[in-house]
Amino acid sequence: MPEVYVKYVGKDIAKYFGATKNPEVVQLAEGSTYGELIEFFYKRFCQCVQLKGGKMPNKELFGAFVFISDGRNLKRISDEPVKNGDEIVVIPADAGG
């Protein structure tokens, strides 16, 4: 069962995904892909928004976040399998340098 380490960058980003720790460890089913990991994040995001009294968010709102591992955007490699020990960074899409 692969584990990934998720770091939420930016003030309060972790709370949008229901994370109680930052970084946090997420366990996935064997053979999971990055696309499935993104779907996991989307479900948690929707649950947290609804718990805070909001309506069901759409994918466009979820698109305000970028998921990076080893310098690669996970949305672009969604068919690749997750590797045990991956470090995933979640940042707001408007974060720049």
Under DSSP, is residue 87 helix (H, G, I), strand (E, B) or coil? strand
Question: Domain 3-92 adopts which CATH fold?
Answer: Ubiquitin-like (UB roll) (3.10.20)
pLDDT for residue 87: 97
CA distance 50 to 34: 24
Token pair, residue 31, equals 């053979």
pLDDT in tens, the chain (97 residues): 889 999 999 778 898 888 989 999 999 999 999 999 999 999 998 888 777 676 666 677 788 899 999 999 999 999 999 999 999 999 988 755 5
CA distance 36 to 87: 16
Report how far apart, in Å, the C-alpha atoms of 6 and of each of 14, 20, 50, 54, 85 are.
9, 12, 22, 25, 10
Domain extents for the chain?
3-92
pLDDT for residue 96: 56
Token pair, residue 40, equals 């996991």
The residue behind tokens 């366990």 is 27
